[in-house]
Chain A
Amino acid sequence: MGRTLAEKVWDDHVVRRAEGEPDLLFIDLHLLHEVTSPQAFDGLRQAGRQVRRLDLTIATEDHNTPTLDIDKPIADPVSRAQLETLRKNCAEFGVRLHPLGDVEQGVVHVVGPQLGLTQPGTTVVCGDSHTSTHGAFGALAFGIGTSQVEHVLATQTLPLARPKTMAITVDGELPEDVTAKDLILAIIAKIGTGGGQGYILEYRGSAIEKLSMEARMTICNMSIEAGARAGMIAPDETTFAYIKDRAHAPQGADWDEAVAYWKTLRTDDDAVFDAEVYIDAAALAPFVTWGTNPGQGLPLSAHVPDPASYEDASERLAAEKALEYMGLSAGQRLRDIKVDTVFVGSCTNGRIEDLRSAAAVLDGRKVADGVRMLVVPGSVRVALQAVEEGLDKVFTAAGAEWRHAGCSMCLGMNPDQLAPGERSASTSNRNFEGRQGKGGRTHLVSPQVAAATAVIGRLSSPADIADVPTTAGV
């Protein structure tokens, strides 16, 4: 019988398989950041162990890094301690680190692909749930806990039971104005935040094949919000073109050999998935969340749902609690929801294409009075590229704040936070209670919707601002 993409990559990494035991999998790439690594290094130290494969390990600083005044000492003592600990650990064990201020610094899931380290058919792990991002390259990539981080540091392997596989097939043309972010929010709304539990998702179909690598990363990034272990997309010419000539791309004969292998990484025609879901791309529209989990989303043209309309008692209760927390009432038009803050950034939508599309909407327009807009590039490289293209000028001319790279308001571990009761339209991935600051209210949106929302001050799509005059090109 044929095998799925996930099964092929899994099988290629089995170091040891024994009856009644989990498979021992080899890990090709281990990404580290400051939050989940300290106790892992401490464990190594206590046991007198070394990092087994320094050449497969890389660290960056992202969660705690400030986005302003990065040359000044970090004010928060806990943030500072975590960063200093990572620096000390990397120096002691010999791990390659890109600290704040370095040109390769950035959100860990932006940095890996950008360096060309994330490649098809590899296993990628990181002590971070959004490691699923790297699956966009046909890699098997998943988040792990701190004790597993230690395990990979010491052995470059992990004992794991193989998850089931689920195909998410998206056929047809995405309408204009509908982005990868809208698509993944619609998928999560359809299958639910637990729908992917126990599965590796494979996104496939003609609509997926047409997407750029950055759009594919946006989709795989949020697999975890559907409860999945990982998300993958089969590598193709788009993938190969993205990787070619990056710093860590294979060279010469290695490149040819790699591409030949990568081309085998497609689900066989006769392979069977454990579950299948179909989505019609043409039926999609710009999507926003109204609640406090990423599955609580609707097309922007819809109204805030009435909790009483849910048949399932726990969903009803969740909706009631969400509306209360979000300060919304049933039946309200989503387009009438006013925001205080707009955040463009994160490992979901902090790459150059995301900034370009937000800038295109904003170009020549102004951020509405009373709205603060933060643009935080996913990495220093993304920031440099944006500056080269003049995007930073577009943002600042519109009245947005152009910041330094990092996770920033995605989770508010640094000073970029919502105040209690403040409402944001955010291109990040989690709208949990308090995620962006205690009492903060988050609506997840695409970069285009974020930019249009900034202009109008209410949740809006680019179509809504067609009438707002622009001075661009004047």
Chain B
Amino acid sequence: MEAFTTHTGRAVPLRRSNVDTDQIIPAHWLKKVTRDGFEDGLFEAWRKDADFVLNKPERQGATVLVAGPDFGTGSSREHAVWALQNYGFKAVVSSRFADIFRGNSLKNGLLTVVLEQSVVDQLWALTEADPGVEITVDLHERQVRAPGVTAGFELDENARWRLLNGLDDISITLKNEQDIAAYEASRPAHKPRTVQAA
């Protein structure tokens, strides 16, 4: 997983609440057998509307999604996170996230930032007035900064440590390589094998 320290980018204001994972990535995309290539499925239904904010030329290349409250509700599909990341988002800002979505996002290195709705409103106003405005999400300082805005955010220490170091569950386990190797060395010879060891 890529480490997240600090990120600066343009934003997409998504003025909707209760954006569920079916909206983020519709069910028919779940048949795919990879975890990339979901960018075209992101908000698929809404993107059919030329006026949808993601379709606006000035929003191309934006990397911070500023969403309404209760983002990521519904099914637990991890594909929702992959779709946002495949599209290019590095961070999502909202006043409230669904639990499972938040868990999935942090596991995959997508930073979900919880801010007061008043701050979200400010960010919306800023980026709508000037799409070129850049927002900085600073995980070291646990701070979001934009012209005229400085807001702190919470994130539990373990999740923050993992994001800062780019550690997914597998990397964390692999830090115990010595223990695993020692265990393997002491395994009895009678244990089954599917093929001859190389």
Contact = CB atoms under 8 A, between A and B. Distances in A.
Contact of B170 (A42, A57, A85, A151): A151
Interface in A45-77: 46-47, 49, 54-58
B35 A39 contact: yes
A212 to B, nearest CB: 21
Interface in A142-166: 146-147, 150-151, 154-157, 159
Contact of B190 (A43, A155, A257): A257
Contacts of A156: 180, 184
Interface stretch (A22-30, A190-198, A418-426): A22-30
Contacts of B179: 15-16, 24
Nearest to A54: B195
A379 to B, nearest CB: 16
A277 interface: no
Interface residues of B, number: 30
B170 A155 contact: yes
Interface residues of A, number: 44
B5 to A, nearest CB: 19
B36 A248 contact: no
Contacts, number: 98
Contacts of A146: 78
A55 B193 contact: yes
A254 B188 CA distance: 9
B21 to A, nearest CB: 16
A78 B28 CA distance: 11
B14 to A, nearest CB: 26
Given A28-B191, A29-B192, A55-B195, A46 B36 contact: yes
A189 B43 CA distance: 43
Contacts of B31: 78, 81
A122 B170 contact: no
Contacts of B129: none
A38 interface: yes
A261 B106 CA distance: 42
A261 B170 contact: no
Given A54-B195, A96-B194, 11 more contacts: A38-B33, A38-B34, A39-B35, A43-B35, A55-B196, A56-B193, A57-B194, A58-B194, A78-B31, A85-B33, A151-B169
